[in-house]
Amino acid sequence: VYIPSVAAWVFSSLRLAVGFAFTGALVGEVMAGNRGLGYLMNLALNSQNADLMMATVILIMAMIIAVFALVGRVEAWATAWKRPA
């Protein structure tokens, strides 16, 4: 009884955690990475390559939107028993 009732809280927390995880990974790659999207952002910034910077930002946004959509679908599946408010 307890596990199904906390599913909504778990998934809302998971949505926040996804955003923080992407932010933490990007900051780590910008500061000390030698590959990855954060490294590409830092490279674009240092070489004043606006096209590369915008492409990297759009790719990051697309990845976050895809993960949010995936979490939303899993949440809908896991809480299918719940009546809409």
pLDDT tens digits, 46-63? 999 999 999 999 999 999
Domain count, the chain: 1
CA distance 35 to 65: 22
Say yes or no to pLDDT of 27 above 80.
yes
pLDDT given for residue 15 in this prediction: 86
Helix H segments across 1-85? 2-5, 7-32, 37-46, 50-78
Say yes or no to pLDDT of 83 above 80.
no
Residue 64 lies in a domain: yes
Compute CA distances 41 → 24, 32, 34, 45, 73, whole Å.
Answer: 14, 12, 11, 6, 30
CB neighbour burial string for 20-43, b if at least 16 within 10 angstroms, e if fewer = eebeeebeebbeebeeebbbbbbe
| Least confident span in 32-36, 39-43, 80-84 | 80-84
Residue 85 lies in a domain: no
Domain span at 41: 2-78
Residue 83 lies in a domain: no
